[in-house]
Amino acid sequence: MSNGPTNKEVYHRLRALPWEKLWTEEVQRFTQASPRERFENVSVIRAVGVVFPQSGPTELRADVQLWLRELLLDPEEKIRRYAIAALPKVGATGTDEAELLKLLRTTKNPREEKFLGQALDKIGGSATLETLAASGKGSPQTIQKIQASLARRETPSTVRLDHLLPESEAQRIHLRCRAGLEGILRAELEEQGKFRILGGARGLVAITPLVPITLADIFALRCFGTLGIVLGLVRTQQDTQSIESLAQIISSPATTRLLLALTEGSLRYRLDFIGKGHQRSAVRLVANRAYALSQAILNDPQEAPWAIDVHQNKSGDSVELRPRTSPDPRHPYRLGDVPAASHPPLAAAMARLAGAQAQERIWDPFCGSGLELIERSLQGGVESVFGTDRNAQAIAIAERNFAAATLPQINAHFICSDFRDWEKIAGLTHQSISLIVTNPPLGRRVRVPHLRSLFHDLFCVAADVLRPGGRMVLTNPFQMDSPTDLLRLQSRQVVDLGGFDCQLEVYEKAYPQTPDNQKQSNAHPR
C-alpha cells in the first residue's frame, strides 16, 4: 500500500502552477472542501503566499488579502498560522495589521503568538507598538524590528559624507583592500598627507587622522575597498561574555555620538560577522542585548545606512562601523558592468602603478566595462583612449561608463574587436601607444581556451604598439615573462583576485639601440 504525497511534495506541485490555475482551481477547491480536507491541503495557502508576489495580477491583490483575512477566523490553528505567514508576502495593509492584532489579543496558543509576532515584525506600525506595550506580549526583537521599520519609512537615512568625524571617535580607521595592494594604498595615503599609517596586515592598512576629516576625505582615496571606523575590540572567546561585550560596544555613548554626527535620519545598522556566514542566532542575541542597553540605535537588515562588522583577528574581534553607501561615491560613473570585470579599487591601483604622463595615449585590449581607462583618465594628462573587447555588450557598457565619468576633452574610441586585429583599428598604429593598462581574462569566471597563448600574443602585440619608453600594466595568472626582449619587467607583485593569486606586473618598452648606447653597453657589461 503506497502512501500519498507529503505536504512538502504537495506544496512544490502547487507553487509550480500558473497563478490563474492556482487561484481559480486549487483555491476554490480548498474553499469548498470539508474541514478535514482543508487541513490536509493547507499547503495551498503557503503556495498563494509565494506565487502571487511572483506572477499574480495587481488587480487581484485585494481579493487575495480578503481571502487570507477570512482564514484568520478559521477554527483550525494550522490554517490560521499559514494565513498569518502569507499575509505579509502578498502586501499586507493597515486592515491586515488590525486583524492580526485582534488575533494576537485573543490567542492563547504560543506557536500562533510566535507567528503573529513574525508577521507583525514585517508589517506592524504604531498600532502594533501600542498593542504590544499594553499586552506585554511583544518580544524585544519584535519591538525593535517594528521601530526600525517605522523609522525606515518615516525618517529614511543617509550617510553624511561631508560632516567631520568627532575627534575622540576617529582615532583608528581600517582600510581594507585586495591582499597585495597594501603598498599601493600606503603610497596613496602618503601622497594625500591627511593620515598617519599605524600598521596593517594582509589586505588591511590601519590609519589615524592627522587633521579633522570627513568621510569624503577618506573616499578621496581610490585604492581601498571598504573602510571601517574601529569602535572597539572584543578579546574574550566565551560566547556569553562576547555577546555582552559586543552589545556594550554597539550601544556605547561613543558609538551613538559617531552615528549622530554622520547620519541624516534614523540611526540604524546591520550587524555582520565577517567570514562566518549568516550567524542569525548570534546577530539576534547581540542586537537584542544592545537594544536592551540603549534604544537610540536600531538593528535593521533592510536599507540600513551603516554596517557594524565584526572581524576576527589574532588579538580579538575588531568591531567596526562601515558606511553602506550605494553606489560608492567614488564611482558614480559605474552605470553598468560585465562578468569578470575589474573591481574599481584594482583598476585604480593599476592606474597608479602606470603613473601619469602628459599627452598619454592609452589602450585597454580587454576593456570590459572600461574601469582601467576611466581610472587612469581621472589622473589627468590623457589625450586619447582606445578600448577594445570581443564582447559588443561590454563595448556599449564601457562607452556609457566613460561618458558618465564626465572627463575633460579626451578622444575616446571603443571598438568591438579582437586585440590581435589592432592594425585594422584607426588610430592604433606601430609605436602609437604610450600606455597599455589591462586586466585580461584570467580563466576563472570566464573560461578561455588557450589562455597562455593569449598572453603570449598580448606581449607580442604590446611590443609592437607601444612607443619606446611606453608601459604596460597588466594582471597575469601565469609565471611567465615577456617572450620579447623589447618589454622589460619593471615590477611584479602578487595580488589576491578573489581566492586565487595573480601577478600584477609593469613592463616598459625598451628604447632602440644606437651606436652610442651600444658602445656604452659594451664598455659596461652587466
Confidence of residue 449 (pLDDT cuts 50, 70, 90): confident
Instruction: Name the percent of the chain lying above pLDDT 90.
Output: 76
pTM of the model: 0.85
In this predicted structure, the answer to whether residue 477 has a pLDDT above a threshold of 60 is yes
- CATH fold for the domain made of 344-509: Rossmann fold (3.40.50)
In this predicted structure, the answer to whether residue 457 has a pLDDT above a threshold of 60 is yes
Cβ–Cβ under 8 Å, residues 321 and 267: no
What does the pLDDT read at residue 443?
75
In this predicted structure, the answer to whether residue 522 has a pLDDT above a threshold of 70 is no
Phi, psi angle pair for 160, to nearest 5°:
-85, 100
Confidence of residue 33 (pLDDT cuts 50, 70, 90): very high
Sequence-ordered alpha helix ranges (H) in 340-391: 344-354, 371-378
- Tell me the C-alpha to C-alpha distance, in Å, between residue 49 and each of 30, 72, 82: 15, 14, 9
Cβ–Cβ under 8 Å, residues 359 and 452: no
- CATH fold for the domain made of 167-323: VC0802-like (3.30.2130)
Show the cell assigned to 157. Answer: 537615512
What does the pLDDT read at residue 118?
87
